[in-house]
A and B are shown apart, each in its own frame.
Chain A
């Protein structure tokens, strides 16, 4: 540690031509873990966050927990979650589309991250008994992702990391896989060039870049809602891939869930989600069912419906249920749309009343008796309709009839920069970069080729953030 006077008044002097050991681009979990690790490694660090202060931190603001391996129960985890079990879970959700060496390395490191992140001021939510149940695999941030971020920023500032907001990186100067400088546009000083000995790119994916999404999805992407930050436009990712960094992950893929169609275009976060599919049926704009609503248990169910809705005309669908199940799921941000009759409900949704009545009548007629239990694959199913509802099928017959309109809500994208175990970027020729590192969503595709399991994004961010920061500092100090 060299003794840099920490900035306690929050005012950070704009940097003009100072040279830093480590430049971190991005301002979320991965970026801050990198900045803190680099600073603790003795490097001078500048963090450039493209968003204004309130929106700092990309999608970390909207997260709530992290998945880490641990050998025994703790105060905040109900039981062990071994490295092997974590690996099995990752293998299952990605269908094998993962870099095993990197993934196992991450899982091993995640054990220590559980403690390290607490040393950086982040607090886990303890059980309060009664109201709060703890997880076995995932630890929850007390106060959520923004609280976690606030803690990391306070620690970074205390350590003497410089942070700038509203700092848009417009270009990267890279020669032969070697980072030299970044061009930065700021509200105050206009455009300047900042050079640094090492670079950590932790600037997220491109899910908020509708134009980029349209390259793969066409006009359908106009009907997507972006669940997280409007600032993840993928500009840094694009620059790196354009300057010889090897790409990883499917560029046409993004992770999507069904969220309320009334949600804002950007930044609606966790609260717009729905998990009421299991309690009713889902119809498209023609009032037709299009997929087995009883196929699988949460969270797999949760993860597929975004994509299913994206494939329907106008990317819109309606979860239809009746008043008997209205307290079976968590309270929702937007109230369900209600009708005393199916026809009235159809009218409010802009659906053809006769078509919706037919769909519900056919569905009700196909429901077979069974013992309902939404926590298991129960025996309540339909017979003789296509698509079937293979579990949790119950008649929709008690007025008022209710509906939630849903659209695809994009969470994150899979395309990223290829890295090795040191979080060092690999160039297109396979050679590791001399001084460029990546962490977080910008390289998550290395571990997560497809699919998702709760809390893995934060694990990738913290683990590779810390590695990237450490390695970047090591390079700069040599």
Chain B
């Protein structure tokens, strides 16, 4: 018996799957399962986070519902995955945020945006908020750069702290036997596997979405979202370096690196989340953890909002709309930062670490042979 009902069910399924093993070529979950004969809570949480929910094992399984063995690995592991996020949350009292995730995220987002707008209004007079500002330092007439950097730096640092604490709990739970450190080779392998979403390919045909015809659309949208996010992050980092090292102040010209990176990232963050949202709406319900729609949709919405407000700001930065748009964009980013440790964002980190763990296990196994 395990800690929760869903882990009991995951254990039952892994016992069925381990006596079959037809799916061992589809992804990393099944080879990892085969390295074990019995499953602790940590093992199951590891397998759950290793699963990319491509759906191939469900469509290929001779025992999926309506069969009496009732094998539904993607859905069971999706629920287990979501429950594991809450279990590792730091500080513990905030783990409840996962259960009401969509609501929490939208409240935080709304409050952040409102706070920025009110802040701008309070700090400046209305003519500044709705004025037209151009040239270097235009943004900082609404909010001094150092205030902005301090505020966002603090939010980001808090997010990083909470994530590090959560990750420690996860790494301990999945019980890495080799002292918890990863060698360079395993890390590199995991970076490659995560970077190309190697295990969202349904064993080669693509992932399964609305029916039993595999496509790779979800993979494409995820790439757009993920790399869009990274590009935006890179844009912000480059701009920060410009500011402090070169003394060049935003806004930058359209051809300049922060704008180019940010624009490309912004497009990714608009198209990607829309695609993921539509895919989620159309996906076969039997593959989904519908209870936690809110968490997925909340995160998708936050990313979309970040991208959309950023693009709007870029397009309208020389008009009177710049002030309110800047407030909206900063509010969205701020909300994104502080809700990161309590939402769908964590899936990427846990999955990456599960991939690291898997790469290590595989290497150990190859050496043993």
Mask: chain B, 195-217; 1 = CB below 8 Å from A; 0 = not: 00000000111000001110000
B131 at the interface (CB under 8 A from A): no
Mask: chain A, 113-145; 1 = CB below 8 Å from B; 0 = not: 000000000010110111110000000111111
Considering the complex, give the chain A residue whose CB is closest to the CB of B369.
Answer: A130
Mask: chain A, 62-91; 1 = CB below 8 Å from B; 0 = not: 101000000000000000000000000000
A131:B365 contact, CB within 8 angstroms = yes
Cα distance A54–B56 in the bound complex, in angstroms: 15
B31:A147 contact, CB within 8 angstroms = no
Considering the complex, give the chain B residue whose CB is closest to the CB of A333.
Answer: B19
B25 at the interface (CB under 8 A from A): yes
B125 at the interface (CB under 8 A from A): no
A264:B19 contact, CB within 8 angstroms = no
Nearest CB in chain B: distance from A268 CB, A = 8
A146 at the interface (CB under 8 A from B): yes
Mask: chain A, 213-238; 1 = CB below 8 Å from B; 0 = not: 00000000000000000000000000
B59 at the interface (CB under 8 A from A): yes
B16:A267 contact, CB within 8 angstroms = no
Nearest CB in chain A: distance from B369 CB, A = 6
Cα distance A140–B63 in the bound complex, in angstroms: 19
A143:B203 contact, CB within 8 angstroms = yes
Residues of B within 8 A of A54 (CB): 64, 66-67
Nearest CB in chain B: distance from A36 CB, A = 17
B18 at the interface (CB under 8 A from A): yes
B6 at the interface (CB under 8 A from A): no
B62:A143 contact, CB within 8 angstroms = no
How many chain A residues touch B (CB < 8 A): the figure is 33
Residues of B within 8 A of A150 (CB): 59-60, 212
Residues of A within 8 A of B62 (CB): 61-62, 144-146, 267, 269
B31:A131 contact, CB within 8 angstroms = yes
A377 at the interface (CB under 8 A from B): no
Residue in A128, A130, A327, A333 whose beta carbon sits within 8 Å of that of B16 in the complex = A333
Considering the complex, give the chain B residue whose CB is closest to the CB of A269.
Answer: B62
B34:A131 contact, CB within 8 angstroms = yes
Interface residues of B in 49-80 (CB under 8 A from A): 56-57, 59-64, 66-68
Cα distance A140–B25 in the bound complex, in angstroms: 10
Interface residues of A in 422-460 (CB under 8 A from B): none
Considering the complex, give the chain A residue whose CB is closest to the CB of B26.
Answer: A143
B31:A128 contact, CB within 8 angstroms = yes
Q: From known contacts A142-B203, A143-B26, A144-B60, infer whether A331 and B19 are also in contact, taking CB-CB under 8 Å.
A: yes
Residues of B within 8 A of A270 (CB): 20, 22
Residues of A within 8 A of B106 (CB): none
Considering the complex, give the chain A residue whose CB is closest to the CB of B17.
Answer: A271
A330 at the interface (CB under 8 A from B): yes
Residues of A within 8 A of B223 (CB): none
Residues of A within 8 A of B203 (CB): 123, 142-143, 147
Considering the complex, give the chain A residue whose CB is closest to the CB of B31.
Answer: A131
A130:B362 contact, CB within 8 angstroms = yes
A332 at the interface (CB under 8 A from B): yes
A154 at the interface (CB under 8 A from B): yes
Considering the complex, give the chain A residue whose CB is closest to the CB of B25.
Answer: A125
Residues of A within 8 A of B212 (CB): 150, 154
B contact residues, range = 35 or more
Interface residues of B in 1-43 (CB under 8 A from A): 15-16, 18-26, 31, 34-35, 37
Residues of B within 8 A of A143 (CB): 22-23, 25-26, 56-57, 60, 203
B25:A126 contact, CB within 8 angstroms = yes
Tell me how many residue pairs across A and B have CB atoms closer than 8 Å: 91
Residues of A within 8 A of B369 (CB): 130
Cα distance A143–B26 in the bound complex, in angstroms: 6
Residue in A123, A126, A269, A327 whose beta carbon sits within 8 Å of that of B20 in the complex = A269
Considering the complex, give the chain B residue whose CB is closest to the CB of A157.
Answer: B213
A10 at the interface (CB under 8 A from B): yes
Cα distance A254–B204 in the bound complex, in angstroms: 37
B245 at the interface (CB under 8 A from A): no
B15:A333 contact, CB within 8 angstroms = yes
A142:B213 contact, CB within 8 angstroms = no
Cα distance A142–B25 in the bound complex, in angstroms: 6
Nearest CB in chain A: distance from B3 CB, A = 20
B366 at the interface (CB under 8 A from A): yes
Nearest CB in chain B: distance from A226 CB, A = 14
Nearest CB in chain A: distance from B202 CB, A = 9
Considering the complex, give the chain A residue whose CB is closest to the CB of B57.
Answer: A143
Residues of A within 8 A of B26 (CB): 142-143
Considering the complex, give the chain B residue whose CB is closest to the CB of A60.
Answer: B62
Max chain A Cβ within 10 angstroms of own Cβ: one of B21, B56, B68, B211 = B21
Cα distance A142–B24 in the bound complex, in angstroms: 8
Cα distance A454–B285 in the bound complex, in angstroms: 37
Residues of A within 8 A of B67 (CB): 54, 267
B23:A144 contact, CB within 8 angstroms = yes
Residues of B within 8 A of A142 (CB): 25-26, 203-204
Residues of A within 8 A of B15 (CB): 331, 333
A123:B63 contact, CB within 8 angstroms = no
Nearest CB in chain B: distance from A334 CB, A = 9
Considering the complex, give the chain B residue whose CB is closest to the CB of A129.
Answer: B366
Residues of A within 8 A of B21 (CB): 330
Cα distance A130–B364 in the bound complex, in angstroms: 10
Cα distance A264–B70 in the bound complex, in angstroms: 13
Cα distance A263–B25 in the bound complex, in angstroms: 26
A330:B19 contact, CB within 8 angstroms = yes
Residues of B within 8 A of A333 (CB): 15-16, 19
Cα distance A270–B24 in the bound complex, in angstroms: 15
Interface residues of A in 23-66 (CB under 8 A from B): 54, 61-62, 64
Mask: chain A, 190-233; 1 = CB below 8 Å from B; 0 = not: 00000000000000000000000000000000000000000000
Nearest CB in chain A: distance from B284 CB, A = 12
Cα distance A407–B87 in the bound complex, in angstroms: 44
Q: From known contacts A62-B62, A123-B205, A269-B62, infer whether A128 and B366 are also in contact, taking CB-CB under 8 Å.
A: no
Nearest CB in chain B: distance from A401 CB, A = 19
Residues of A within 8 A of B31 (CB): 128, 131-132
Residues of B within 8 A of A123 (CB): 203-205
Residues of B within 8 A of A331 (CB): 15, 18-19, 37
Cα distance A150–B211 in the bound complex, in angstroms: 12
Cα distance A208–B12 in the bound complex, in angstroms: 28
Mask: chain B, 337-354; 1 = CB below 8 Å from A; 0 = not: 000000000000000000
Cα distance A142–B21 in the bound complex, in angstroms: 11
Q: From known contacts A61-B62, A142-B25, A143-B60, infer whether A131 and B362 are also in contact, taking CB-CB under 8 Å.
A: yes
Interface residues of A in 377-421 (CB under 8 A from B): none
Q: From known contacts A10-B211, A331-B15, infer whether A130 and B57 are also in contact, taking CB-CB under 8 Å.
A: no
Interface residues of A in 148-162 (CB under 8 A from B): 150, 154
Question: Which 3 residue pairs are nearest across A and B when measured between Cβ atoms?
Answer: A144-B22, A143-B60, A147-B60
13 A-B pairs whose Cβ atoms sit less than 8 Å apart in the complex: A123-B205, A128-B25, A130-B365, A131-B365, A132-B31, A144-B23, A145-B22, A145-B62, A146-B61, A147-B59, A270-B22, A332-B19, A333-B16
Besides A10-B211, A143-B56, A146-B60, 16 other A-B contacts (C-beta < 8 A): A62-B62, A129-B366, A131-B31, A131-B34, A131-B35, A131-B362, A141-B22, A143-B22, A143-B26, A143-B57, A144-B61, A147-B22, A147-B56, A150-B59, A267-B68, A271-B63
